Amino acid sequence: MSCEELLRALNEVIDDASALALYTEFADHLSGCNPCQLVVDNVRKTIQLYKSGEPYPMPAGFQDRFRDALRAKWQARFPNSKPQS
Amino acid sequence: MSALNEPPVEPTEDDLELLRRAQSGDFAAFERLVGRLQGRVYAVAYRILGQAQDAEDVVQQTFLSIIEHIDAFRGESAVASWVLRIATNFALKVLRKRRGLPTVSLDDGDESFASVPHPEFIAAWREPPDVLAERAEMRELLDKAIAELDDKHRVVFVLRDIEGLSTEETAEALGLSVANVKVRLLRARMQLRERLTRELGDAATRVVPDHQHS
Ligand SMILES: [Zn+2]
């Protein structure tokens, strides 16, 4: 297997824990190829970093307007239901 | 616990139960459902659009539309992925409007693997992601790097890797084939890897790939 082929299969290597066990050629290539090892590691860390990022808080000023809009829409959609505040 | 750190879209009974109650006219249940999901909807919209005001509009449009079409949910997918799909479509509309295009170039044919750039700067990162995540300047770097992606690559990365939708759910949300989602995801991952590793990699560990000529 070449680096090129490993790159093509990178999503599977990253996403599918069983891929490395299933396709021994991936594991064989990786164990002998430092650049590919690093690329896989870099991509894993990139995803991890984005996932672990602080959430974006919804602006507090928006929250009130948003609730009012929902309430008004709800009353129009379900005129018989009485949303209590 | 923050919304983003919650486990990715799994059909939680809670969401479903709240939605069922909302479908029968229970506003309190609907509000609770909104409370559970609004943070993720906002984060997805913010990441796709890079701007708070537009992200707010998407949040509002999404949940108003859900009230309007509350009976449309049939339970084929998790409530959260249904909601994220609706939100993504509103976000795409904003992109279209911004670009002055009738359609955002999400469906401009299949991309092939040949368009995926080869890695160039390959090095070990100086610090692990959990340490990096604590750094104040990291948010700016992450936002900048993701904003540099083409819309069509960014949207896939946000849904699949950040929000944890499956490849199939992402394809469905975007009206793309699974194969197309995969190649766009790879493209986004490689571009972000390159960008972040140039900033965060330890140059002393840099290696030169041997597939320069392939
Ligand atoms: Zn290799």
> Which residue, of B99, B132, B147, is where some domain finishes?
B99
User: How far is it, in rounded angstroms, from Cα B152 to Cα B97?
Assistant: 15
Is there a contact between B132 and A49 if contact means CB atoms under 8 Å apart?
yes
Q: Do B130 and B191 have their domain in common? A: yes
Residue B26's domain comprises 12-99
Q: Do B42 and B123 have their domain in common? A: no
Q: Is B202 on the interface with A (CB under 8 A)?
A: no
Q: Is A83 among the domain residues?
A: no
> Which residue, of B71, B99, B127, is where some domain finishes?
B99
> Measured at the alpha carbon of residue B142, what is the angle toward residues B97 and B210, in degrees to the nearest 5?
110
| Pairs of residues, one from chain A and one from chain B, whose beta carbons lie less than 8 Å apart | 149
Q: Do B130 and B161 have their domain in common? A: yes
Q: Is B210 among the domain residues?
A: no
Q: Is B107 among the domain residues?
A: no
> Which residue, of B50, B72, B99, is where some domain finishes?
B99
Q: Is A11 among the domain residues?
A: yes
Q: Is A47 among the domain residues?
A: yes
Is there a contact between B56 and A58 if contact means CB atoms under 8 Å apart?
yes
Is there a contact between A42 and B122 if contact means CB atoms under 8 Å apart?
yes
User: How far is it, in rounded angstroms, from Cα B113 to Cα B116?
Assistant: 5
pLDDT tens string B76-135: 888 998 999 999 999 999 998 888 766 555 655 667 888 888 999 999 999 999 999 999
Closest among B165, B199, B208 to B185, alpha carbons compared: B165
Residue for token pair 């297997």: A1
**Upper half-sphere CA count for residue A42 (Cβ side, 13 Å):** 31
Nearest to A11 among B31, B64, B182 (CB): B182
Q: Is A82 among the domain residues?
A: no
Question: CA B184 → CA B106, B107, B111, distances in Å?
Answer: 10, 11, 7
| pTM for this predicted structure | 0.86
Residues of A in contact with B139 (CB under 8 A): 53-54
Alpha carbon of B7: minimum distance to chain A alpha carbons (Å): 11
Average confidence (pLDDT) over A45-56: 89
pLDDT tens string B156-168: 999 999 999 999 9
Nearest to A3 among B34, B123, B209 (CB): B209
Is there a contact between A58 and B122 if contact means CB atoms under 8 Å apart?
no
Q: Do B53 and B134 have their domain in common? A: no
Q: Do B139 and B164 have their domain in common? A: yes
Q: Is A14 among the domain residues?
A: yes
Tell me what ipTM this predicted complex has: 0.87
Count of the separate structural domains present in chain B: 2
The CATH number of residue B174's host domain is 1.10.10.10
Count of the separate structural domains present in chain A: 1
Report CA A23 to chain centroid distance, whole Å.
25
Q: Do B166 and B94 have their domain in common? A: no
pLDDT tens string B12-64: 559 999 999 999 999 999 999 999 999 999 999 999 999 999 999 999 999 99
Q: Quote the DSSP letter at residue A22.
A: H
Q: Do B54 and B133 have their domain in common? A: no
Q: Is B108 among the domain residues?
A: no
Q: Is A85 among the domain residues?
A: no
Q: Is B201 on the interface with A (CB under 8 A)?
A: yes
